[in-house]
Every structure is written in structure tokens, then in C-alpha cells.
Amino acid sequence: MKTHYRAVIIGGGVVGASVAYHLAKLGWTDIALLERDVLTAGSSWHAAGGFHALNADPNIAALQAYTIDLLSDIELESGQNIGLHMTGGISVASAPERWEWLQASYRVFQTMGIDDVHLIGVDEIKKRCPIINTDGIIGGMFAEREGHIDPSAVVHAYARCAKKRGADIIEHNRVLELRQRPDLSWDVVTEKGTIVAEHVVNAGGLWAKQVGRMAGIDLPVTPMEHHYLVTEAIPEVAALDKELPLTVDLEGFTYLRQEQKGILLGIYELDYKHWNMEGAPWEYGIELIQEDVGRISNELTMGFNRFPCLQEAGVKRWVNGAFTFSPDGNPLVGPVRGVPNYWVACGVMAGFLQGGGVGKSLSEWMVHGEPESDIFGMDIARYGEFASNREYIRQTTGQFYSRRFVMSYPNEQLPAGRLLKIPPAYDAMTAVGARWGNSWGLETPLYFAPEDFEEKPTLKRSNAHDFVAKEARAVREAAGLIDTSAFSRYEVAGPNAEKWLDWLLACKLPKPGRAKLAPMLGENGKLKGDLTVLNWGDGTWWIMGSYYLRQWHMRWFESHLQDGVAIRDLSDSITGFGLAGPNSRNILEKLTHQDISNSAMPFMACKSLDIGLIRAKVARLTVTGELGYEINCSGAEAQTLRRLLLEAGKDLGLAEIGFNAVLSLRLEKSFGIWSREFTQGYTPGMTGMDRFIDFGKADFVGKAAAIKERDGDEKGRVVTTLEVENGDSDATGFEPVWKDDRLVGYVTSGGYGHTLDKSLALALLDRDVIAEGTDLRVHIVGNERRAKVLPASPYDTKGARMRS
């Protein structure tokens, strides 16, 4: 063991070994992996070892596909037999909604370019898995690249490959303490001495919580129990001439694979159980938890009925082991805000499926400054401090675990971790019918409905459709009022604030009293934000964006901060309301003595206004495509502001609206939003954000890459508006788009345009098919629909209404 390393990885499970391998592969060979016991001790050694294709996040599914492809490579490079069984895998559906979901998932795989996934019928399921009872099964999805491995062998293969490339693998050496030095490197205090490391990676698995606290970080992760059993030899299995595929019974909460001449059956029970929520004891190693068969008896019964040969089989061993889970079940990866040179790669409950992708992405981040893929779904910054609350972790991880195989719907609102943060007017809005969603722990209004209305979860068009239509119509014909607590607000001040913003943002900065749309880029020229920058004219500036990106954006701002600049997150102290529609100026004029005519306060102006007794900061902009205002005030003033606006608008058709109506209105204007049309995987030229870039500026972050895209011959896909043949469902995202038999792109977001009375979608398409009127096809909930290209902003194409 040396005394100095460029990077130290803490944890010798599959994730830590993968990080070591990928860092060494990218040229960082002066690294060490530290393991408190032996490699695999913790969760890796007792993992079931299965790998499969499905994930609700297509970006994570792509990284899973990378991991699967990598397995044979590390076997060859290491010389370690990893026990790779590429059996293929079947996910079976025995509910009509699940079958629709599988059909939709199949189309998402096509979007991703994964062509070895197929829909199969009951006869094919029985042929591939002869021991299954097909009663009630409607169909299934077969993925060729699914199967299982020897977990311990895979960890050792990663470690051998890393060692061959120069990394040190050090076992039996527990990390005791972490201390950050003045130069931001780390003293890694271990049982065998102190190491100085430029970077530290927390791949602690069951001990990730404790390793985080060594650096003053409380990670939103906790261990939970998970059962599987392995049977004695089963005659029906022994008689087979080929190995059974990995088989998942989605309605039965079980997964199955062959284990020699017997079966391994795993269970995701509804009656979940946490284990040592603060992290495993340090002395815990290659051990198991006592099985609790009674707690999983319902799922076992379903499993034994689905695979009847199990009913006569002897159980060779039970495995009840602990795995770590985050609130949404996805890994926690990346740099930690406010703790330089400290990285996390933990909460990877599917380590042998996702470990390769996690190691690749984190290593690219450390070496190159950005991962190649958009991995926001795994980024630690998708959570804030609120997510480290023990009760929040207990509720959300339990909800995820118990719903691992439970059908989820796009319009479904789940209960765990709810009513954590509520807008000031929450009770008043609830009293008049507000139905709520959740964004980063904050309740956000979706739509308003009568007291006795209950929305039904569905993959198709919601039974709340007519309520949303009424709200959209109110905005177009009169005025709508929406709570904007779910907008982030950052104040930038200081003597160098303007200079810094000019460098950080790619747009031309607005003059005093004006606002501008502000693309923010990474050094790679890809998007880091679709923001709004406001110049209040008094030396202070605001940046506004999406509430759920607060930790992500603050990490970016702080990592690029310069002397003479102060940035402050105002999002929990400043709130407000959006007022939009042709009558919105008339409503606001009733409440202020100031001139807000079009000449005094034109489109994209911003100023302080007296609204009743409130001194508000107001910007004339909206995402609805109508005349509108964003009115900002303190949280203590929010209920008063709402009351004033509703009273002033009661004779002018003002109606409260939710974000479902805003979705409809923005689609009719071809306005994109973050995580849909704008992501860190897309460039300005792909999204239309290039029209807001000031290429003439002396410098800005990502300028060289942006110019290269602008001047290059290679042009990527571009966001385009589609009208989709009407039916009983609308596009939501990642549905494939076809021109004849050629895949030409995919949907980024979709919904119903209530003003145009059309099903609409925004899609990222090849440039040779974006001419207006081009006939295309798209799959919605698995069913083929005709589509055609519309002009951008099909409603009020020239934008006259929002500038009126």
C-alpha cells in the first residue's frame, strides 16, 4: 500500500471493483480499492446474479445494456470464468394493463436501438419455459441478452482487470476516518495507516451511510432485506435439454432462474422490511439474515402456483440478504455538492446489472469532467437534504421495494414522502378542488376537480381530461392562475455578477428591467439548463428554472463560482403565481397604480410592482403562449396575493389551473421543458436553443463546442411538432417514430392540445423528415398511429397573443 494515490475507492463489491476497472481503463492507474474484509463481502457475494433488460428510465436501461455487453469482455480480459449464462429472459403479463405496458416497453427498446427484445405469445412462453403454468397469462416480452452470472467471479474479474492496468486492490483494511486537507485532497485514515488521496469514491454498499458521514454527508440510502430460495434438483428441470430462461412473473412478484438442476426463486414481497437503517455493523461480512418465510408466504404461494414443480421440490437453502436502496430504487452517483473531490457510487441495488454502467459513468465524470450519457436518473443531485430524513427514507424505500413489480401509471400519485413541503396556499387550493402531484418533495397542483371525483390510474387518457380541457380553455379565452412555487429562483449579486453571468450563460444578457431565455451549456456544448435570467436593474439578477433541479443547478453554479459573485437559492422563501390569458392585464391593472400597458411593460420586461399591499417582483412572460405575468412574492404574502388576484378576476373569467393544463398549452406552442425536450444529453442545435445563443460574445462556457456544432456538417436530430392520429391515449415520451420502415426518432413529450382539439407530440427527428406535412407513424401504448409534421407553434404561430 502506498501513501499517496490519485483516487481511493472505498468498497470491494461489484460497484467499487467496476469503478476501479473503468478508472484504470481511462488512464487513472494510480488508484487503490480499499475493502474492509474481502472482495464481495456485504451484498455482492449473496446476490442472485440475474440480469435483465427492463428499466423505467431509458437512459438507465441503456447503461444496463452496456453492462450486459461488458460481461464477456471482462471475462476475456481477466481470464476469470464468470459463469455467464446468456439464457434470455421472459417478463410475463397476466393483466391487460400489464400487457399494454409490455407492448409500450417493447417500443421504447426500439427507440433505444435495442433490437433483441421481442413480444411473444403464451405458446412461445411455454415453449421457452416448459415448467411455467400459463393460466391467466396474456403474453410476454423476451429479451435475448438476459441471464445470470456467478456474482463473486464477476467482482474478481473486474478487480483483476483493474489490477492488470495498474490499480492496487487492498483487502482487510477498513477505512476509519476521512479528513479533507486545505488543498482539498483527503487523508484516508485506515487500519494500516493514512493514505493521501486526491479523490475519494464512496462505493461502500451496505456501509455507504457510514462512509458518507465520515465526510459530513447523510446519504438517502438504506439496507433492506431480500429473500430468494434455491431448490434441490427437480426432475422436470433435470430432464430439459436447454437451460431455462430468466423468468419474471410481474403480477406474482417473483423471478426465477435455473440453478444447476434446480431453481432459484426470488421474491419482492409487499410486506417489506428494513434492516439496520443506519448501515450494516462494521463486523458484518459474509453473513445472512434469518429467513422470514411467513412474511413472504403470499408471494411464495403465487410463485409455487406459477411454477408447479416447486411444490414437490426440497429447499436446499434460503438466502435472506441485505441490499441498499435509494428512495426511487436507482443508484446514487456523482460528485457531492459542497464536498470537493468526494464522489458516490452507492445505492446500486441491482449491482450486477447496473454496476458496469455506474463505473463507466462515474469514471468518465472524474476523468473528463462529464459522463458520456445523460445519467440524471442516477445523479445524487436529484435529491436534496430533505431526502436524508430517516422517515422519508423509510417511507420511500419501502414503497419502491413493495412496488418493484407492481404496475405503475403515468398519472398515478404515490403516497410515500408526501405533504413534506406544501405551498402557502395549499389548504385554500385544496378546499376548491386542487389535485396534487409532487416535485422534489413539494406538492404541485395538477388540476382542479369536484370533491367526489377520483382519478383512475391508466396508461391511456385520464378521466380528468375534461377538467384539464376546461382549465386550458379558460386561459385561452379569459385568464388562468397557477401556483408557481415549483419554480426555482436564484439571486446573483456582487461586483462581478454581470461578468460571471455573461460567462456562465450562453445568451446575451438582458438590459436592466428585462428578462431573457438563457441556455446554459457544459464544456461539451450540451445543455446544462433552459433558464430565464432577469436583470432587476438594481445590481441584482435572478435565474429561474425548475424546482426539482435545485441541487443539480446549485452544484453547477458553485463549482463555477468566481470571486466577487454571491449566489443564493431563494426557492423556499420566494413563491408566487402565474397569471395568463387575454384578460390578465385587465386583472392586474385593478390591483396596481403603476402603468403596465404594453408600451410601459412589454413582453419579457420585469420590474417591481405594488399589487395591493404587496411589493412584488413581476416578469411579463408565460409558457402558455398568452399574455401573461409571473408574479413573485414572499411565502408569507402568497395567500394574500392569491386572494387579491381571484377577487380582481372573478368578473373576468379567471380560473385556477394546474400544470396538466400548462402541458396542453405549451405543446400547442411547441415550447419544450427540461427532462423532455431539453436534457444534458442534447445540444442547442437539436433543441432549437441555439437561436438564443450569443455566438459573438468573447467567451462563455461551452462556446467552442457550440461553434463546432453550428459550423459542422454533421447535424443531429431536431425537436419537431407532430399531430398524432386521435385515439384513447396520447404520447408521453420515448415512443418510436417511423418513416415507412425506418426509425427516424422518438417522442420527447406529448399530450392533448385542447384548443386545437388534437393529440400532439414533440419529437426528436432526423432532419430529412421534418418538412411540414410529412407523414409518419408513432406507437402509442404499443399501438401504431398515423402522425404528420406540423409547423412549429401550431397555435398562434407568430406569437402575437403573448406580445399583445
Q: Which tens digit of pLDDT belongs to each residue from 389-400?
A: 999 999 999 999
What is the four-CA torsion angle of 219, 326, 341, 280, rounded to 10 degrees?
Answer: 60
Closest of 171, 147, 157 to residue 14, by C-alpha:
157
**What's the rounded mean pLDDT across residues 751-759?**
98
Grid cell digits, residue 715: 447535424
Number of Cβ atoms within 10 Å of the Cβ of 292:
15
Which pLDDT score, from 0 to 100, does residue 55 have?
Answer: 73
* β-strands 758-765, 718-724 pairing: antiparallel
Which pLDDT score, from 0 to 100, does residue 53 have?
Answer: 74
Examine residue 400 and state whether it is found in any structural domain, yes or no. no
Q: Which secondary-structure segment (H or E) carries 97?
A: helix 96-111
Which pLDDT score, from 0 to 100, does residue 662 have?
Answer: 98
Confidence bin at 713 (pLDDT 50/70/90): confident
CATH of the domain at 770: 2.40.30.110
Residues 89 and 180 in one domain: yes
Residues 90 and 233 in one domain: yes
Q: Which secondary-structure segment (H or E) carries 500?
A: helix 497-504
Burial pattern 185-208, b for ≥16 Cβ within 10 A else e, equals: bbebebeeeebebbbbbbbbbbbb
- Given 429, 452, 475, the domain boundary residue is 452
Examine residue 476 and state whether it is found in any structural domain, yes or no. no
Number of Cβ atoms within 10 Å of the Cβ of 696:
6
The predicted-structure confidence for 262-277, as pLDDT tens digits, reads as follows 999 999 999 999 999 9
Which pLDDT score, from 0 to 100, does residue 1 have?
Answer: 85
Report the alpha-carbon distance of residue 202 to residue 200 in Å, rounded. 7
Across 9-23, 56-70, 83-97, 736-750, least confident range: 56-70
Which pLDDT score, from 0 to 100, does residue 255 have?
Answer: 97
How many angstroms separate the first and last alpha carbons of the chain?
71
Examine residue 800 and state whether it is found in any structural domain, yes or no. yes
Report the alpha-carbon distance of residue 383 to residue 393 in Å, rounded. 11
Report the alpha-carbon distance of residue 363 to residue 171 in Å, rounded. 22
439: Cβ–Cβ under 8 A, 6 or more apart, which residues? 486, 546, 547, 548
Residues 210 and 228 in one domain: yes
**What's the rounded mean pLDDT across residues 673-695?**
97
Residues 247 and 371 in one domain: yes
Task: Say yes or no to pLDDT of 288 above 80.
Answer: yes
Range of the domain at 433: 418-452
Residue type, 556: W
Q: Cell match 437534504: residue?
A: 385
Confidence bin at 484 (pLDDT 50/70/90): very high
Examine residue 468 and state whether it is found in any structural domain, yes or no. no
Residues 174 and 305 in one domain: yes
Which pLDDT score, from 0 to 100, does residue 325 have?
Answer: 97
Residues 643 and 754 in one domain: no
Angle at alpha carbon of residue 97, lines to 94 and 98, rounded to 5° = 50
Q: Are 80 and 158 in contact (CB under 8 A)?
A: no
Report the alpha-carbon distance of residue 328 to residue 348 in Å, rounded. 11
Confidence bin at 727 (pLDDT 50/70/90): very high
Which pLDDT score, from 0 to 100, does residue 57 have?
Answer: 78
Q: What domain count does the chain have?
A: 5
Task: Say yes or no to pLDDT of 62 above 90.
Answer: no
Which pLDDT score, from 0 to 100, does residue 113 have?
Answer: 87
Residues 354 and 435 in one domain: no
**What's the rounded mean pLDDT across residues 221-230?**
97
Residues 99 and 84 in one domain: yes
The predicted-structure confidence for 535-564, as pLDDT tens digits, reads as follows 999 999 999 999 999 999 999 999 999 999
The predicted-structure confidence for 337-372, as pLDDT tens digits, reads as follows 999 999 999 999 999 999 999 999 999 999 999 999
Average pLDDT score over the chain: 97
468: Cβ–Cβ under 8 A, 6 or more apart, which residues? 447, 462, 658, 660, 661, 664, 752, 754
Task: Say yes or no to pLDDT of 77 above 90.
Answer: yes
Total residue count of the chain as it appears in this document: 804
Which pLDDT score, from 0 to 100, does residue 360 have?
Answer: 98
**What's the rounded mean pLDDT across residues 668-687?**
97
Report the alpha-carbon distance of residue 306 to residue 245 in Å, rounded. 15
Residues 504 and 441 in one domain: no
**What's the rounded mean pLDDT across residues 372-400?**
97
Which pLDDT score, from 0 to 100, does residue 322 have?
Answer: 96
Judged on CB neighbours under 10 Å (0-12, 13-18, 19+), 89 is: buried
Examine residue 51 and state whether it is found in any structural domain, yes or no. yes
Task: Say yes or no to pLDDT of 54 above 80.
Answer: no
Examine residue 696 and state whether it is found in any structural domain, yes or no. yes
Residues 360 and 440 in one domain: no
Give the per-residue SS3 of 544-609.
EEEHHHHHHHHHHHHHCCCCCCEEEECCCCEEEEEEECCCHHHHHHCCCCCCCCCCCCCCCEEEEE
Q: Are 678 and 689 in contact (CB under 8 A)?
A: yes
Which pLDDT score, from 0 to 100, does residue 435 have?
Answer: 98
Examine residue 480 and state whether it is found in any structural domain, yes or no. no
Grid cell digits, residue 218: 447523510
